[in-house]
């Protein structure tokens, strides 16, 4: 029972924590909505914030449902415990009453003194004295146990009443959240209806934004491919120089950093012949899709991978308003948006921050678009796009949660960070990597 109660307490605490997070997300969504509503016309930003608020509200209702079920279980268990205690207390009272009746019935026929004096010998007298004492002690213990169980019963009943009030409060909260949800869904329908009147304009904006995203994606692919090429070339060169030293060639005398790989191979082959050594087996080529990582970079990549699901958000407060991958547009009919990142709406003036330790590979500038920062974590890369100001440069070492730049706020008062994730040259969905 104690272990079960402890488990329920843990689950309840986790549910309360998640509920607080969801309520904070709803508060942030409201704040973002209020910012975007300052415009004279409806915007996609309003619709995105509203859609996310609805998703969060639905999860909040599911969380409250879980709390109600947990409270129901607690009430049921408490009621069982109370029933058991009541029966136990009544049994103790009946036993005590029987002892009292027995003692009363014997008060004239066999007093305690006569009971002892009528013993046949001293040993029997001592046993009778002990027996009488045990009987007296047992009656006292019965009284104490009855008092203890009555006190426990009182506490259980008080706790049961508290749980019932909590249950009623949760049901009231759930009803209120459902009403809020219905209102938000109605508002969503109205916003979609109004935005559909500007479908042609919105379609044009979508295509322009998709074009920017494609340009950024291609530039990131180019940078990562170049990084991988350099890493492979360095690994190949390091292996050759190690072979050269193994056969006795001296760096700075027999070869230098300016000696190209072809010439260095010839020198190694000639040296082997003079030493009557067999040709060394050719080293296996590194896979074209993977880095040749240093031990430090390999450890960093392993640490990054081990933190999947617990990475901090790249903003202090934010809500995901744009999902990763292909998504049908909610307004423009037949348009499918393909996001190589997620879009995180936040407050005006917010800063992008590093999701993990790493090194800045590049600060990317796409003509006609805002800046992006590419950070390498071994063979993982995180991308922080739509920055109006950047605080770092290529080659800088960055730490967890270090500020990288200021996120751009557009003419519709939307402040959205484009957050991406790559493993080698393959795009990943970053949302499952972030802590909930």
Q: pLDDT (tens digit, 9 = 90+) per residue, 177-201?
A: 999 999 999 988 888 888 888 888 8
Residues 351-408 pLDDT 10s: 999 999 999 999 998 877 899 999 999 999 999 999 999 999 999 999 999 999 999 9
Q: Give percent of the chain above pLDDT 70.
A: 87
Kindly state the helix (H) or strand (E) to which residue 409 belongs, with its residue range. Answer: none
For the CA atoms of the chain, what is the radius of gyration? 38
Backbone angles phi, psi at 423, to 5 degrees: -115, 115
**pLDDT higher at 180 or 205:** 180
Q: What is the pLDDT of residue 423?
A: 93
For 202-228+301-433, CATH number? 2.70.70.10
Which candidate, 178, 164, 190, 167, places its Cα nearest to that of 47?
190
Q: For residue 5, what are the contacts with CB-CB under 8 A and spacing of at least 6?
A: none
Indicate if the pLDDT at residue 109 is higher than 50.
no
The yes-or-no answer to whether 2-196 and 202-228+301-433 have a common fold is no
The label of the residue with tokens 């969905």 reads 429
Among 19-28, 90-99, 283-292, where is mean pLDDT lowest?
A: 283-292
- Mean residue pLDDT across the chain: 84
Q: What is the pLDDT of residue 62?
A: 92
pLDDT of residue 79: 87
- Determine the pLDDT at residue 26: 87
Query: Over 80: is that where the pLDDT of 278 sits?
Result: no
* 232 CB-contact burial (10 Å; exposed 0-12 / middle 13-18 / buried 19+): middle
Phi and psi dihedrals of 428, rounded to 5?
-120, 160
pLDDT tens for each residue of 284-316: 444 443 556 778 888 999 999 999 999 999 999
Q: How far apart are CA 277 and CA 247, in angstroms?
A: 9
What is the pLDDT, as a whole number, of residue 6?
55
378, 300 in Cβ contact below 8 A?
A: yes
Give the range among 9-23, 123-137, 224-238, 377-391 with minimum mean pLDDT: 123-137
Domain boundaries, the chain: 2-196, 202-228+301-433, 230-293
CATH architecture of 2-196: Orthogonal Bundle (1.10)
Q: Provide CB contacts within 8 A for 65, sequence distance 6+.
A: 174
Euclidean distance between the first and final Cα of the chain, in Å? 31
Please state the pTM of the whole predicted model. 0.70
CA distance 348 to 338: 26
Q: What is the pLDDT of residue 364?
A: 93
Nearest partner of 425 among 220, 265, 183, 246, judged by Cα: 220
Highest mean pLDDT pick, 16-25, 117-126, 150-159, 397-406? 397-406
Q: Phi/psi of residue 421, each to 5°?
A: -145, 135
């Amino acid at each position: 029972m104690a272990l079960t109660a402890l488990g329920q307490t843990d689950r309840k605490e986790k549910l309360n924590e998640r509920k607080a997070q969801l309520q904070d997300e709803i508060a942030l969504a409201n704040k973002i909505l209020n910012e975007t509503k300052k415009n004279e016309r409806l915007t996609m930003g309003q619709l995105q914030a509203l859609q996310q608020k609805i998703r969060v509200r639905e999860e909040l209702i599911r969380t409250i449902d879980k709390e109600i079920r947990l409270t129901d279980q607690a009430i049921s268990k408490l009621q069982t415990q109370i029933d058991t205690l009541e029966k136990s207390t009544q049994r103790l009272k009946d036993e005590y009453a029987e002892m009292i009746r027995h003692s009363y019935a014997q008060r004239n026929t066999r007093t305690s003194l006569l009971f002892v004096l009528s013993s046949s010998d001293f040993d029997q007298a001592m046993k009778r004295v002990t027996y009488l004492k045990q009987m007296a002690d047992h009656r006292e213990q019965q009284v104490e146990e009855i008092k203890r169980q009555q006190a426990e019963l009182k506490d259980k009943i008080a706790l049961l009443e508290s749980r019932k009030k909590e249950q009623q409060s949760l049901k009231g909260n759930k009803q209120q959240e459902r009403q809020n949800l219905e209102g938000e869904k109605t508002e969503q329908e109205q916003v979609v209806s109004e935005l559909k009147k500007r479908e042609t304009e919105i379609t044009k904006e979508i295509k322009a934004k998709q074009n920017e995203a494609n340009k950024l994606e291609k530039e990131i692919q180019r940078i990562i491919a170049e990084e991988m090429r350099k890493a492979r070339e360095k690994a190949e060169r390091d292996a050759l120089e190690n072979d050269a030293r193994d056969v006795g060639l001296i760096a700075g005398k027999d070869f230098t950093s300016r000696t190209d790989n072809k010439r260095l191979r010839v020198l190694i082959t000639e040296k082997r012949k003079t030493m009557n050594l067999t040709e060394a087996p050719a080293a296996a080529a590194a896979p074209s899709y993977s880095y040749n990582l240093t031990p430090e970079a390999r450890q960093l990549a392993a640490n990054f991978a081990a933190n999947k699901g617990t990475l901090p958000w790249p903003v202090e407060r934010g809500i995901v308003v744009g999902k990763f991958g292909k998504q049908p547009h909610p307004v423009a009919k037949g348009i499918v948006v393909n996001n190589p990142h997620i879009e995180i709406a936040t407050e005006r003036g917010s800063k992008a921050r590093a999701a993990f330790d790493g090194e800045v590979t590049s600060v990317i500038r796409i003509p006609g678009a805002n800046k992006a920062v590419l950070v390498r974590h071994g063979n993982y890369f995180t991308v922080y796009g739509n920055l109006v100001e950047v605080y770092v440069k290529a080659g800088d070492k960055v730490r967890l949660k270090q500020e990288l730049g200021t996120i751009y706020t557009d003419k519709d008062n939307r402040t959205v960070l484009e957050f991406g994730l790559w493993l080698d040259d393959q795009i990943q969905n970053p949302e499952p990597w972030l802590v909930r």
